Amino acid sequence: MGTQAGIQGRDVVTLDTFSAQEIRAVTARARELKAGGFGTPLAGRSLAMVFFDPSLRTRASFAIAFGSLGGTVIDLVAGRDLWPLEMREGAVMDSVADEHVRDAARVLSEYADVIAIRALARGGDWAQARRDTVIVSFQKHATAPIFNMESVLDHPCQAWGDALTLEEALGEPKGKKIALVWCYHPKARPLAVPHGVGVMATTLGMNLSVARPPGYDFDPHVERTMSRAATASGGSVRFVEDMAEAVRDADVVYAASWGSLDLHASPEDERALRDRYRDRRVTRELMAGTREARFMHAMPIRRNVEADDAVVDAPGSLVIEQAANRLHVQRALFQEVLGV
Ligand code: CP
C-alpha cells in the first residue's frame, strides 16, 4: 500500500514532533484499515515491547495490531524478564544493574524492527523526572524505531487514537471546543495523557480549555508547545480553575487526573494538596453546562471518583471508542513507520 504520512523510519516518542498533516494522514489510514482488510504486510517483522509499568490497553493494542498484520511480538517486563538496567552513561557497574541500556537497546535492535517502551516516573523531583531517561536512553542507543507506550512526558499513541475518535465523533476537530478537566484520583497520576491530548488538540486547531486546581499546572515547556501549536493552527488554549467555566459550550469534555509537579518529590505533601480537591469529578450536572458534549477519558477510569457512572455510561460517552481506536491507529502507525 505504501506510506501516506511520510513518517517512515521515525521514532514515535512525543506528539509534538509530528505536524497536523502527519497526524491527519495517519488517522486517515486508520479509518481505511478500520473499514477494510489489511492482510499481513508485517510478516517477517518483529516488535519488542518493554514494560517498566502495567498496561492493559496499550499492551493489548500494540500486540494485537502488530500480530494481526502478520508480525511477531515479544513482551518483556522489567523486573521479571530483563536484567536490571543501568541508564547512566559511563557508570561503573559494580552495583545492582547487570546490563547497560546501551547494550540492551542495541541487542534488541538486532532482533526487532520496532522497540516499544512504557516507563513512567520513578519519584524524585520533576526537573529530573521530565528528562524521561528510560525512553530517551533507548532512543539514543537503539537503531530500530522507538515507540513510546507512555512515558513521563507523553503518551503519543493515546493522543493519536483520540484524534481519530474526535474526527469520528465531531467531524473536523478544528474550531471545536475541548475542555480538559482535572479530576480527583486517589493516586498522583502521570502527566503523559493530558500533555499528549493538549498537544494533539492544539495542533489540530481545537480551542482547548484546561481546568485545574492551583498547583496542578502542566510542564512549562509542554504548555509553551501547546501555545505555539495553537498559534500555528488557528486554535487556542487557556487555563482556568473552575470546571464549570471550562466546560461551558464545550463539544468535548476530556477528564484526566495528574500529580502536582511542584510536589513531585514529596508524595505525602502532594496527597495532602490533592485531597483538598476530592469533589472535583465529572457529573451529569457538569455535563449539562456543555453543548451536549461528548465525554472522553483515556482509561483506566476510577468510576464515581473521576466521573460518575451516569456520565461514563451515557450515550455521549466515547470511552470505549477511544480504547478501540488505539488498535486501529496502531495498525496505521506500524505500517507508516515501517513503510509497508
Ligand atoms: N490508556 C492507556 O494507556 O491504558 P493502559 O495504561 O491500560 O495501557
Q: Say which residues have a Cβ less than 8 Å from residue 100's Cβ, sequence separation at least 6.
A: 85, 86, 91, 93
Reported CATH class of domain 15-154+326-338: alpha beta
Q: Residue 4: which pLDDT band, with cuts at 50, 70 and 90?
A: confident
What pLDDT, on the 0 to 100 scale, is given for residue 2? 57
Residues 6+ apart with CB under 8 A from 285: none
Within 10 Å of residue 41's Cβ, how many Cβ atoms? 17
Q: Which atom of ligand 1 is nearest to the CA of 54?
A: 6
Closest CA to 335 of 30, 19, 98, 55: 30
Residues of the chain with CATH 3.40.50.1370: 15-154+326-338, 158-322
Q: Flag whether pLDDT at 37 surpasses 90.
A: no
| Ligand 1 midpoint to CA 21 (Å) | 26
Residues 6+ apart with CB under 8 A from 311: 282, 283, 284, 287, 295, 317
d(CA 33, CA 29) in angstroms, rounded, equals 6
* 11 CA distance to ligand 1 middle (Å): 20
Task: Report the separation in Å between the CA atom of 321 and the middle of ligand 1, taken as the mean of its atom positions.
Answer: 14
* pLDDT at site 1: 55
Q: What tens digit of pLDDT does each residue of 179-210 get?
A: 999 999 999 999 999 999 999 999 999 999 99
Residue 238 has pLDDT above 70, yes or no: yes
Residues 332-336 have a mean pLDDT of 98
For ligand 1, the distance from its centroid to the CA atom of residue 222, given in whole angstroms, is 21
- pTM given for the model: 0.97
> Would you give the distance in Å from CA 286 to the centre of its chain?
25
Q: What is the per-residue pLDDT across 291-314, written as a single tens digit (0 to 9) for each? A: 899 999 999 999 999 999 999 999
pLDDT at 15 over 80: yes
Give the residue whose CA is nearest to atom 7 of ligand 1. 56
Q: Which is it for strands 252-256 and 294-296: parallel, antiparallel or unpaired?
A: parallel
pLDDT value at 123 more than 80: yes
CA distance 292 to 253: 10
Q: Is the pLDDT of residue 36 over 70?
A: yes
Residue nearest to atom 4 of ligand 1 (CA): 57
48 lines ligand 1 (CB under 6 A): no
Share the mean pLDDT of the chain: 97
**Distance between CA atoms of 76 and 310, rounded to whole angstroms?**
38
Work out which ligand 1 atom sits closest to the CA atom of 155: 3
Instruction: Looking at the structure, give the CATH architecture of the domain made up of residues 158-322.
Output: 3-Layer(aba) Sandwich (3.40)
